[in-house]
Amino acid sequence: MHSITDNYLRAIFESSYLTGQTSNKRLASLLGVSLATTTEYVKKLRQQGLVTSRKYSAVSLGNVGQQAAANLMKKFHLCQVWLDQELNLPLVEVAQQAWCLASFDSNLLFRQLNEYLGFPEVTPFGSQVQRPCLYNEGLSRLYDLEYETNFIFKEYLSDKKVIRYVEHLGLQLDQEYFLENADTVFDVLVLATRTDKKIMVNYEIASYLYVELSD
């Protein structure tokens, strides 16, 4: 079973992906705990040298924290591939159960499972398996994209809410879309498929969808 610290390192890694920083409010939302609880625990992580933060400022993983988080994510992502390829579980189950399974501490198990699966490069959510890192120069958050831009949908957060949203919209990895504009009344981005089907993505979810610019 993962420790509380493991859960926080994962949440900080995922919520600061591509940007390098997150907030206590965002962490509290991902973890399903109160803002006060998050603030207090982040303070402990800072004292342990795992994160850098100041009162009312952004939270970032320090060098030690980044390495610890990357090791956690490697096991987590490998277990996602295993559950998807071998058991064909629904993606929501893949994300939830993979985190439970990834609490093992055996390097031998990791190496043998990795070899058994053929050293997979990406998870069913598009995330890197072998070398997960905070920054990927080829990707941007959909939320940060300029309007009237073509892009390829490459990755998304393996969180229950995000997974269900992506499945409901019918978004497909490695497919090209066009970001038309935003509807500020409803706080959504307006996308179009190649067949000109319109798709509305709310701002919160758009910050967890990762894309690659296309010509």
Q: Per-domain residue ranges for the chain?
A: 1-135, 140-213
Q: Which helix (H) or strand (E) holds 94?
A: helix 91-101
DSSP label of 184: T
Distance CA 163, CA 93 (A): 10
Please report which residue ranges of 154-210 form alpha helices under DSSP H. Answer: 160-169, 203-206
Instruction: Give the global pTM.
Output: 0.93
pLDDT in tens, 43-92: 999 999 999 987 677 999 999 999 999 999 999 999 999 999 999 999 99
- Architecture of the domain delimited by 1-135: Orthogonal Bundle (1.10)
Query: What pLDDT is recorded for position 192?
Result: 97
CB atoms within 10 A of CB 166: 21
CATH code of 140-213, in short, is: 2.30.30.90
What is the reported pLDDT for 112?
Answer: 98
Two tokens, residue 141: 């958050």
Segments of the chain with pLDDT less than 70:
55
